[in-house]
Structure 1
């Protein structure tokens, strides 16, 4: 049976670690249109935990090297890929370009009816932005 959220919080949240979490937050908000929901620092000024919103989704992130199980398990894990549904793919792409994001693939119509493009963040994670609606029939 599928789980649903009655609190308005997403059931699945990608979680990433960054060598420079502050730079990641700047890029995700400025180039890709996320909004800061929460940013918590540890005693050393590193990002202990951050939550960035886009639509009804949230991505969580933090700084590498803080210790703890998640940080240890993610060490050397390589880049991740995240898909984000956007309303206007071309406008979203223009914003990303204007803010200097590395575009991996230009906006294109896909054979399954969606339109999307891909960008790489400052630390190599691949972000796909498109109008595909996962789970829709």
Structure 2
């Protein structure tokens, strides 16, 4: 890996929301993501945002802004995103306290992960657990 790529995620999920501002609020307040970038149009529409958790990043924007990428997405979604967390019990409590819909309860999986799945405001599923996938060496 080159110097500027070291430590950077090699892929990032990209989601489009009808209400991107509400999605950013939920992901930061209920799930503990950190907003690292926000680009808005003159009318305040979220054109592009980046939220981080650990060394992962999710990019998101508003539906209805047009452009080739949105056209290619069509009516896609909802999607599922897996996020590694150190303490799924504490993370689950935080999400519940924020009023997030828990789609699948905290569970100890046969493969060793402790995890739960929550639904964001627009139906995307976010699983938070201790399982850490490992990419093969490059």
Whether TM exceeds 0.5 here: the answer is yes
Structure 2 SS opposite 1:25:
helix
CA distance in 1, matches of 2:68, 2:133: 31
Structure 1 SS opposite 2:8:
coil
Segments of 4+ moved more than 6 angstroms: none
Q: Give the structure 1 partner of residue 48 of structure 2.
A: 49
| Farther off after superposition, 114-123 or 69-78 | 69-78
CA distance in 1, matches of 2:89, 2:121: 21
Residue 75 of structure 1 deviates from its aligned partner by: 2.8
Q: Give the structure 1 partner of residue 119 of structure 2.
A: 120
Q: Give the structure 1 partner of residue 19 of structure 2.
A: 20
Q: Give the structure 1 partner of residue 130 of structure 2.
A: 131
Scaled by the length of structure 2, the TM-score of the pair is 0.92
CA distance in 1, matches of 2:119, 2:28: 14
Number of aligned residues: 135
| Farther off after superposition, 116-125 or 40-49 | 40-49
**Residues 11-34 of structure 1, C-alpha deviations (whole Å, 9 max, x = no match):** 010000000000000000000000
Q: After superposition, where does 1:72-83 map in structure 2 within 5 Å?
A: 72-83=71-82
CA distance in 1, matches of 2:113, 2:87: 12
Gaps of 5+ in 1: none
Gaps of 5+ in 2: none
CA distance in 1, matches of 2:68, 2:30: 31
Scaled by the length of structure 1, the TM-score of the pair is 0.93
CA distance in 1, matches of 2:126, 2:70: 21
Residue 6 of structure 1 deviates from its aligned partner by: 3.1
| Farther off after superposition, 82-91 or 68-77 | 68-77
CA distance in 2, matches of 1:101, 1:87: 19
